[in-house]
Amino acid sequence: TQIDGMGRPLKWTPEQKLPLVLGALRGEGSVAEIGRRHQVSDVTLAKWVRFGPHGTPRGAHTPPVGGLD
């Protein structure tokens, strides 16, 4: 993982995002508080919470292989 000048990853992996997302969902602090602790903007963390650490909207599913019948 490449690091920027402030010690933050340039690209966060799903494994790095997951603890922050779970903390926000569990109410361990506001999105802004958790973001500040980990040097992530509140807007970025809010997107991770909304879309999940893999970028898929929560509750969305992938159609079965072969498409829909």
Q: What pLDDT score was predicted for residue 9?
A: 66
Residue type, 11: K
For residue 66, name the pLDDT band (cuts at 50, 70, 90).
low
Amino acid, res. 58 = R
Which pLDDT does position 49 carry in this prediction? 92
Q: What is the DSSP letter of 34?
A: H
37: Cβ–Cβ under 8 A, 6 or more apart, which residues? 29
